[in-house]
Amino acid sequence: MSGRKMYKIVSIPGDGIGPEVVAGALEVLNAVSKKHGFEVAVEEHLFGGASYDVHGSMLTDETLEACKNCDAVLLGAVGGPKWENLPHAEKPEAALLKIRKELGLFANLRPAKVYDALVASSSLRPEVVKGTDFMVFRELTGGIYFGQPRGYDENRGWNTMVYERYEVERIARLAFEFAKKRGNAKVTSIDKANVLEVSQFWRNIVHEVHQDFPEIELVDMYVDNAAMQVVRNPKQFEVIVTSNLFGDILSDISGMITGSLGMLPSASIGSEHALYEPIHGSAPDIAGQNKANPIATIASLAMMFENSFNMPEVAGDIYAAIEGALAAGFRTGDIAAPGEAISSTTEMTAAILARI
Ligand code: NAD
C-alpha cells in the first residue's frame, strides 16, 4: 500500500460519441493523477443502448450498484436512432431519470464559463461576455416537475409547484458551500416571490440557510428579471441557485451564451453520490468519426475534482489546459470559425494533455 488516497471512479461511456469523449477525459484523469500524486481506480460499466444490446436493459442492477459504490461517476451520453422506437419505459431517457433518482441527485450544476479564445463565437457581443464565469445550481428532484396533483382532461390541465423545507435547505446549503470555496462568491437566489407562494417559501428558507454563511452576499432576483440580466450583463453573477423549472430554462440560456454544446459540462450531486456528464447527447451524426469535441466531458472531470474530491487545484489545472489548447488555436468542428483548421477528437485531447 502506498498510503496515497485512492479515488474510485465509475466510467460509463454509453453510446454514440460517448466512448470517444470519455476516452479523452480518462487520459486527462490519468495525467492529473500522475502530476498531483493520487491514485484512481476506474471501473467501466455499460449503460444505455450499449447495455441494452448486451443485457436487454438500459440500466442493469450491476451498473447501478457500481455507481452507488464509487466516489464519482463519469458519464458520456446515451441514446441514438437504434433505440428510438422502444416503449417509453425502456428508452435511454427513462434509464437516465432512473439513475439520477436512484442516486438521489437533487442538484444539477451547470457552469456558464466563457473561454477567452472563444469570446467571438458567443451570440452576445465580446465585451458583454468576456470574463463571464458563474455556476447555476438547479434543484433537480422537486418542484413542479414532480408535484402532485398533476394531469389534464378535456377542459383543464394542472400541475403543482411544491417544495418541502428540506429540499430547499439542502440545495441552498450546497450553493453557499460552493460559493465559500470560490472565495465567498456572491449567491443570487432566483424565484417569483411576487406572484408564487411557493417562491416566497423558497426565499424564506434560502435566507434562513444564509444565516450560517454571513460572509457571503445573498441577492434575491425575480426570474423574469434574471432572464434579462443573464443576457444583459452576465458578469454580475457568480453563483445562481434556483428551483427545477426556473433552473431548466436559465441554465440553458446561461450555457449557450458561452458558445457551443460541445463545451458544456455538468454535475448532478446528491448527499452521497455524484455524477458528471457533458450536457450534449450521443451526436449520432458524427459518432465514430473522431470529430466530437471532448472539452465538455473533460470539463465535467474538472467539476468532479472541484465538487467531489475538493481538489480545486486539479480542476484549475484542467481548465487552464483547456484554455491553453484553445488559445493555441485548436478547434473541433463545432467551435471552428469558417476557414479555421479543424482538429479531431484525439488531436484536441492531445493538445489538452500536453498542457497538463
Ligand atoms: P446531441 O446533443 O446529441 O446533438 C445535437 C447536435 O450537436 C448534433 O449536430 C451533434 O453533432 C452536435 N454535438 C453534440 N455534442 C457534440 C460534441 N461533443 N462535439 C461536436 N458536436 C456535438 O442532441 P440530439 O441530436 O438531439 O440527440 C441525439 C441522441 O442523444 C438522442 O438519442 C438523444 O435522446 C440523446 N441525448 C442524450 C443525452 C444524454 O445522454 N444526457 C442528452 C441529450 C440527448
Residue 152 shares a structural domain with residue 126: yes
| Residue 143, H or E segment | none
Find the mean pLDDT for residues 82-95. Answer: 92
Cell of 204: 424564506
Q: How confident is the model at residue 97 (pLDDT cuts 50, 70, 90)?
A: confident
137: cell is 445550481
Average pLDDT, the chain: 95
Q: Rounded distance, CA 128 to CA 139, Å?
A: 28
Mean pLDDT throughout 193-204?
Answer: 98
Q: Are residues 183 and 306 located together in one domain of the fold?
A: no
145 catalytic residue (yes or no): yes
Average pLDDT (160-168) is: 98
Find where cell 448527499 sits. 271
Question: Are 53 and 198 members of one domain?
Answer: no
**Do 89 and 179 have their domain in common?**
no
Query: Is the beta carbon of 79 within 6 A of some atom in ligand 1?
Result: yes
Atom of ligand 1 nearest to the CA of 77: 40
Look at residues 351, 332, 285, 318 and name the one whose alpha carbon lies nearest to residue 17.
Answer: 285
Query: 77 CA to middle of ligand 1, Å?
Result: 8
Q: Are residues 55 and 130 in the same domain?
A: no
In the structure grid, which three cell numbers stand for residue 23, read together? 476516452
Q: What amino acid is encoded at 279 in this protein?
A: I
* Mean pLDDT on 42-69: 97
What pLDDT is stored for residue 123 in this prediction?
86
Looking at 263, 279, 306, which one is the last position of a domain?
Answer: 263
Q: What is the mean pLDDT of residues 17-36?
A: 98
Q: pLDDT tens across 254-297, in order?
A: 988 887 889 999 999 999 999 999 999 999 999 999 999 999 99
Q: Do residues 80 and 185 share a domain?
A: no
Identify any residues that bridge with 191 across adjacent strands, giving them in sequence order: 222
Judge if 287 and 327 occupy the same domain. yes
Answer yes or no: do 9 and 137 share one domain.
no
The pLDDT of 311-321, averaged and rounded, is 96
Residue 43 has pLDDT above 50, yes or no: yes
Q: For position 198, what pLDDT does the model report?
A: 98
Domain end (from 211, 237, 263) = 263
What residue numbers bound the domain in which 323 lies? 1-106+270-356
For the cut 90, the answer to whether the pLDDT of residue 25 exceeds it is: yes
For the Cβ of 284 lying below 6 angstroms from any atom of ligand 1, the answer is: yes
The model's confidence at residue 23, banded by pLDDT at 50, 70 and 90, is: very high
Same domain as 350, residue 259: no
pLDDT at position 3 over 80: no
Domain stop point among 236, 263, 290: 263
Task: Specify whether 315 is located in the same domain as 237.
Answer: no
Whether 298 is in the pocket of ligand 1, judged by its Cβ within 6 Å, is no
Is 224 one of the catalytic residues?
yes
- Cα–Cα distance between 202 and 213 in angstroms, integer? 17
Residue 221's DSSP bridge partners are 190
- Are 4 and 69 within one domain? yes
Contact 121, 337 (CB under 8 A): yes
Across the range 178-195, mean pLDDT stands at 96
* Domain harbouring 334, CATH code: 3.40.718.10
C-alpha cell at 155: 377542459
Q: Are residues 122 and 90 in the same domain?
A: no
Q: Single out the catalytic residue among 53, 116, 224, 285.
A: 224
- Top-confidence residue, 181 or 175: 175
Q: State how many domains the chain has.
A: 2
Assess whether the C-beta atom of 295 lies below 6 angstroms from ligand 1: no
pLDDT of residue 242: 98
Catalytic residue among 53, 116, 212, 252: 252
Check residue 173 and report its DSSP letter: H
